[in-house]
Chain A
Amino acid sequence: MIGKELISQMKKLRDVERAKDIRQLTYSIFPGPHCPLMGAMLAVRSIKDACMMVVGTEECTYYTKSTTMNNMFGGMDSPCFSVVMNYHDVAFGSHKKIEEAFAELMSEYTPKAVFLISTCLGEIIGDDIDAMAETFSKQYGIHVAPVHTEHFKSENHIPGIANAVTACLHMMKDMPKGNGINVLGQRFGSFSSTELFRVLSKAGCEVGMALPGGCSVSQIETAASAKVNIVVDATALELAKGMKESFGTPYVRFERFAAPADIFKAYTELFGYLEASLPSEVEDLHKQAVETVGDAKPSLKNVRYIYGNTPLPTYEFNAFMVSMGMIPQLIQTVELPEKPHEYLDYILENSDPYVVKSANIAPLQYVYDEMKPHLYLGHEYALRLRQKGISLVRTDQASAMLGFEVTQVVLSELTRAAAEAKELEKERAS
């Protein structure tokens, strides 16, 4: 495989009109993206008093349960149940089997909510899990939320998270508004360890529901009592919109932004909805972050990078790096925001990167030889990158952060990696 040939098949980000137009680097991929089923599992696993029932092939059900059996995800007794489809079910539908399994589940366990998850096969043959969920809900008097996770309609696991989170809307009841907030889209770590939580706590603001990060079914039921929803990840945007429409709860997008200006804007908007003055601590943190940006700029100017996958929002983070004088050579993503878009436009005004679909690291090895980036952001083999003179930027530590702490940790890692890349360049030259 020749790097030049691969690059010649890539599209420039500026030439892509729809997400569908983003090309796969090669026709065969490895490891490929995760599927929405895994996304749904990741979202549901941390909701207390709830369980999931996955309907699919042995593979889908086996891999989902075996992942949750990891102690990190709940251990052997994790509340993940399965119904395995066979040829008979494909021919005649799996309704009866699901009904039987649901009865078994309810006779042995007492979940307050069940997420009924359908996978590729059920969606192809048209099993109506929405209707089944509605029936079970009435029959057993608990919440039963249908979640659709067919992978052939999406590029990765993100829609699975979004679908599971959005499905929670129907569990919520209208409530009198209080002074608290909900955190929507808390996928990594605990909200209580973030800067944003610290600032809100000092301001006397109470956190109601953090979905999906460790909330309970009762917290979901009463989530409409919050004064404002904070959307910390785009996967919860549909839920936030739904709650605004159903209960009038406003929302603020406070994702894992890297640029101090974006974070400051989110803080300002949030405290506006809370009808409270912006704490002086936020002003101080903003000032410190702006200073760090100024200090880091000289060492990051003209640093070339390939963007893989990070816990930060792709376009905001890339726009931030471009604003630092860095040069994006290739961005791997499956998303394309609707144009005009603030961050996308900024990237295109100041750089001209290629774009390909993510999660296909095998052929990238040949691309590195041609593009010769200084940095790679995302999951890759660090040693292999070093051999090619590339430094790996690790941003996973930022996944449990929100606020200016993200700017600080990201800049610290970028400058470290840029310095390492220069050393590697010297070593290779000698």
Chain B
Amino acid sequence: MKIDVNTLKKIAHLARLEFDEAGAEKMTQDMSQILDWVEQLNEVDTQGVEPITTMSSEVNVLREDAVANHLTHEQGLKNAPQRDSDYFRVPKVME
């Protein structure tokens, strides 16, 4: 499958990534090459096979709903690039 620049831009937006012109060109080539390679899977007859959605054999693992010590407020904010005393700070959401 050949990825064109428009598709690349759409996917990049979904992934919240940006590429300059040279980067976009390289990424379309790499992605096209990798997709061509993974398309080998079309050779496999998967008629009637259920897709596998979990690898663990544990089912409905539940535990008591008990109050316990998790991160303190201060610990939660400790690694924030920008914060005030109570909240994470981000740039303006609305112009």
Q: Do A and B bind each other?
A: no
Interface set of A (CB-CB < 8 Å, partner B): none
Interface set of B (CB-CB < 8 Å, partner A): none
